[in-house]
Structure 1
Amino acid sequence: MAERQAARDVIDYTRSDFPPDFQFGVAASSYQIEGSSFGSCGTSHWDTFAATPGNTARGEEGSVACDHYHRWPQDLDLVSGAGLDCYRFSMSWARVLPEGRGQPNPEGLDFYDRLVDGMLERGIKPFATLYHWDLPAPLADLGGWRNRDIASWFADYTEVVGRRLGDRLAATAPINEPWCVAWLSHFMGLHAPGLRDIRATARAMHHVLLAHGRSIEAMRALGMTNLGLVTNFEYAAPADDSVEAKAAANLYDGIYNRWFLDGVFKKAYPPEVLAGLGPHMPEDYEDDFDVIATPVDWVGINYYTRKLIAPDGSSQFPALKEVEGPLPKTLMDWEIYPEGLSFFMRRVHEDYAKGLPIYVTENGMASPDRLAGGKADDPDRIEFLNRHLAEVRRAVDDGIPLKGYFIWSLLDNYEWALGYEKRFGLVHVDFETLERTPKASWHALKKALAAA
């Protein structure tokens, strides 16, 4: 391990601290950076959600975002300039198929052609995600994730993308963070389509996994390989030692973490979650588990924080609430708890993946980064990365087949309903001029990855 310095401007680890085939990468998503108004992109439910007063901070939306659509060469130069091996990007369903079905948009496919070829020209491995939340509005009109037909629509979209790009992708995952697609968006109403409906939630929780399975089948049929599942995780801890708090935390863990892994790897859903969602599930949903459990080649872990959970005193499922914790927090008000990442790497390995390669596909923090004298210092982010890399290194030493670590995110970007204030990037973006400025964390990472 590199000698630790007192100042928080150094990444504590170099490549030599990890196996020779260990991959370092950075992640981003289509709607958050591309600009949905460019290249004949279709309207997504995020465009309409953001156009509805009160849904997003200051009414901010993603029509321009970081203008990655035009500035992608510069952005890929930032990936390669940092010495990163991989770029985990997503493709916009609405950009590829503006109606969600039917005729593809040539400009959209051409854009992703250029983007993937640009990665390969720079020696960057393309890690693709087919869906990062921007559902075409015409499909939202038909019920979106509530409609079982979405699994077939998504498989057809997968085939369009796979036929065009599949031979050049290093790895592909169908859907990013199914909990956000289903629960956050249909039960909590915080993301598009902004519903608060338990029946819609139950269907979305199931259909997102059915679509995942159908997509994996479609890619296998095209001969594509290195296909994965990417889910997000939050460490759920009881707010106190009471039996009730422990039960609430276990239920939260079932909803957030185990539902999607159980479906794919165990062909079942957690019984404590079904106690609430069961009456609202699609008829004969159990018949879909063979498709849902279509084998994958790797598992991706997106991890940011832990939550303290307590009962909320109500009788309505799920009857739980989050309680503010005592640990230091990011600008998102999320506790910094690296031990949770260690917990999930072990859980996925021991209880689910059974020897499959594991990647940390997202890990990072938001901080109030400001430019001063042409520089953006972000010592808290460097410390965050060091603490989480320590857990990654420990997992590798313990024999967990961990193959890579991806930082969220390359650029400051559109943070969904929270607008442009929450900055996760290794690179600062001035949202007036769109000028990019690598932060201290980018420079520290570059130095660490270049060191022997």
Structure 2
Amino acid sequence: MSRWYDDGRLHFGLGIEDTFVPQERPGERAIDEYALTDHDELVESDLALAASVGAEFLRWGIPWYRVNPEPGRFDWQWLDRAIDAFEASGVRPVIDLLHYGTPLWLDEQFAHPDYPARVAEYAHAVAARYAGRVSDYTPVNEPMIHALFSGEYAYWPPYRSGAAGLVELTGALARGFVLTQRAVADALGDRAVFVHVDATLRYAGDVDAPEHRETAARLTRQAFLVEDLVTGGVGPAHPLAGLLAEHGLGDDGLAWFAENAVQPDVMGVNYYPRHSTELFEAGVHHGGGFADPRPTLDDGTAGLVASLSTYAERYGAPVMLTETCVTGSVAERCAWLDDSVAALRRAKEDGLPLVGYTWWPLFDMYEWTYRHSDRPRADHLLTMGLFDLVENPDGPLIRRRNPVADRFAALAAEAAAAPAPAPTTED
């Protein structure tokens, strides 16, 4: 069946940062990017902004904790309003069902034994309610980042750490991912489009130094672990099967994933040139994670094309750049926009099955360090968007258009006006 992205064009879209971690504890406050950016108040005008710069689609997430405030109960009022706004704008929603964070009533969050069933229940309820209006879903945004932050680094709930925590939450998130996709498919049938999305995690530098070789090899394999699990690609011979079995995900668990495998219609890749490639240095110990971060290497467009090519080959699906930007001046953002689009156009001409380009985000966002701070939101502003966020003492944050928006609009219009490539024929 033909999909909206099957016409051979490069489709341009945007995202709105949608991280939700509503749990609090001493020294950590809830983070809800929709509340921080006033998107919850300005959803209609924000979607109109996306349309105004020519975005064909918008990656946008649902705050599960708001929509499902009690077990088995759903509050659709605000989400109905948002879906109405999508229809009014003409921008296609690509819905993140889980962009971090679980409802407050789900004790132990991803580690709760009912998590996979609960997230699938929520996904089915959403898909059924908006059947005929929304067809494109991302079951879990960046599941390996979920697993790392919540399962290895003890940075987010449920604050597991080490290899045991990583395997526990990798397994739980992957099982929830599978059940979520199956629930949406049950509601929508063959109308459903699944855009799997994960973060680029690359490693460079002295990766073969004796003190780094084993860690670098494990991290490189681990970057794909959730997607490998959900697509049925982890068997007893997988390089990480021993690590999984050691911490409770053995042959029976792997067999369940193989029997219930789900596939992406589009494989989404998030790539940030200044952050996606971590650098090992000979003779220097860096544990990784937030407590002991490794330095990063700006691998530019070479890293971008290599990442997309790797995912396309590994999963046999068309790929989409689902997040990219640089945090910096308007000039720096425009330069990366131009360079990255040019590089992907060349890669597409050379045969990369690329269907979409996503600048993230539409407007500025607030850094996740806000959660671990008592400072005002303005101290955590990240200049990333096509629209600046400007403090307003008299009401919600003002969206101020900047030249990145003009450049994005020009590129999107150029892509929309280009004739669709002629279909290829096989001899």
TM-score w.r.t. structure 2 length? 0.82
Report the counterpart of residue 186 of structure 1 in structure 2. 151
Larger mean CA deviation between 301-310 and 190-199 belongs to 190-199
Q: Sort the Cα spacing of 1:147 and 1:440 in 2 relative to 1 into closer, same or farther, 3 A.
A: same
Letter in 2 for 1:259: L
Letter in 2 for 1:26: L
Structure 1 position 70, deviation (Å)? 1.7
The equivalences for 1:27-38 within 5 A come to 27-31=15-19
- Distance in structure 2 (CA, Å) of the matches to 1:114 and 1:195: 36
Segments of 5+ residues of structure 1 without an aligned counterpart are: 1-17, 33-45, 328-334, 370-377
The equivalences for 1:131-142 within 5 A come to 131-139=98-106, 141=107
Matched, 1:110 2:77: yes
Letter in 2 for 1:229: H
The share of aligned pairs that are identical, in percent, is 23
Q: Sort the Cα spacing of 1:409 and 1:275 in 2 relative to 1 into closer, same or farther, 3 A.
A: same
Segments of 5+ residues of structure 2 without an aligned counterpart are: 1-5, 371-376, 418-427
Structure 1 position 243, deviation (Å)? 4.9
The equivalences for 1:156-171 within 5 A come to 156-171=121-136
Letter in 1 for 2:263: P
Among candidates 143, 151, 171, match of residue 206 of structure 1: 171
- Distance in structure 2 (CA, Å) of the matches to 1:185 and 1:21: 38
The equivalences for 1:407-418 within 5 A come to 407-418=359-370
Letter in 2 for 1:425: G
Report the counterpart of residue 177 of structure 1 in structure 2. 142
Structure 1 position 162, deviation (Å)? 0.8
Report the counterpart of residue 321 of structure 2 in structure 1. 360
Could you say what the CA RMSD is over the residues aligned between the two structures, in angstroms? 2.9
Q: Determine if contact 1:182/1:201 at 8 Å carries over to the other structure.
A: yes
Report the counterpart of residue 331 of structure 2 in structure 1. 379
Structure 1 position 391, deviation (Å)? 2.7
Matched, 1:339 2:327: no
Q: Determine if contact 1:21/1:403 at 8 Å carries over to the other structure.
A: yes
Report the counterpart of residue 88 of structure 1 in structure 2. 59
Q: Determine if contact 2:385/2:404 at 8 Å carries over to the other structure.
A: no
Structure 1 position 170, deviation (Å)? 4.1
Report the counterpart of residue 219 of structure 1 in structure 2. 184
Report the counterpart of residue 287 of structure 1 in structure 2. 255
Structure 1 position 278, deviation (Å)? 3.4
Structure 1 position 336, deviation (Å)? 5.0
Report the counterpart of residue 6 of structure 1 in structure 2. none
Q: Determine if contact 2:67/2:79 at 8 Å carries over to the other structure.
A: no
Among candidates 205, 215, 235, match of residue 248 of structure 1: 215
Structure 1 position 285, deviation (Å)? 1.9
Matched, 1:429 2:396: no
- Distance in structure 2 (CA, Å) of the matches to 1:126 and 1:296: 17
Letter in 1 for 2:382: K
**What do residues 368-427 of structure 1 show as CA deviations (whole Å, max 9, x unaligned)?**
x5xxxxxxxx11011112222233112211212211111110121233234632232221
Q: Sort the Cα spacing of 1:338 and 1:292 in 2 relative to 1 into closer, same or farther, 3 A.
A: farther
Structure 1 position 79, deviation (Å)? 0.3
Structure 1 position 98, deviation (Å)? 0.8
Q: Determine if contact 1:209/1:292 at 8 Å carries over to the other structure.
A: no
- Distance in structure 2 (CA, Å) of the matches to 1:292 and 1:431: 48
Report the counterpart of residue 403 of structure 2 in structure 1. 440
Q: Sort the Cα spacing of 1:157 and 1:312 in 2 relative to 1 into closer, same or farther, 3 A.
A: farther
Structure 1 position 225, deviation (Å)? 1.3
Q: Determine if contact 2:102/2:110 at 8 Å carries over to the other structure.
A: no
Q: Determine if contact 2:18/2:34 at 8 Å carries over to the other structure.
A: no
3-state SS of the aligned residue for 1:121?
Answer: helix
- Distance in structure 2 (CA, Å) of the matches to 1:389 and 1:161: 34
Structure 1 position 212, deviation (Å)? 0.9
Q: Determine if contact 2:386/2:404 at 8 Å carries over to the other structure.
A: yes
- Distance in structure 2 (CA, Å) of the matches to 1:437 and 1:317: 36
Structure 1 position 229, deviation (Å)? 1.4
Q: Determine if contact 2:152/2:166 at 8 Å carries over to the other structure.
A: yes
3-state SS of the aligned residue for 1:68?
Answer: coil
**What do residues 289-341 of structure 1 show as CA deviations (whole Å, max 9, x unaligned)?**
13652233221111112111358888x999xx75435x5xxxxxxx3532222
Q: Sort the Cα spacing of 1:121 and 1:236 in 2 relative to 1 into closer, same or farther, 3 A.
A: same
Larger mean CA deviation between 286-295 and 159-168 belongs to 286-295
Letter in 2 for 1:309: F
Structure 1 position 264, deviation (Å)? 2.9
3-state SS of the aligned residue for 1:386?
Answer: helix
**What do residues 86-127 of structure 1 show as CA deviations (whole Å, max 9, x unaligned)?**
11100111111012x31111xxx2322222222222221111
Letter in 2 for 1:303: Y
Q: Determine if contact 2:151/2:168 at 8 Å carries over to the other structure.
A: no
Q: Sort the Cα spacing of 1:432 and 1:271 in 2 relative to 1 into closer, same or farther, 3 A.
A: farther
TM-score w.r.t. structure 1 length? 0.78
Structure 1 position 244, deviation (Å)? 4.5
Q: Sort the Cα spacing of 1:312 and 1:265 in 2 relative to 1 into closer, same or farther, 3 A.
A: farther
Matched, 1:348 2:319: no
Letter in 2 for 1:382: C
Among candidates 140, 145, 151, match of residue 110 of structure 2: 145
Q: Sort the Cα spacing of 1:408 and 1:236 in 2 relative to 1 into closer, same or farther, 3 A.
A: same
Q: Sort the Cα spacing of 1:323 and 1:218 in 2 relative to 1 into closer, same or farther, 3 A.
A: closer
3-state SS of the aligned residue for 1:301?
Answer: strand
**What do residues 149-198 of structure 1 show as CA deviations (whole Å, max 9, x unaligned)?**
21111110111101111321241111100012111222112334444354
Structure 1 position 272, deviation (Å)? 4.5
Report the counterpart of residue 72 of structure 1 in structure 2. 43
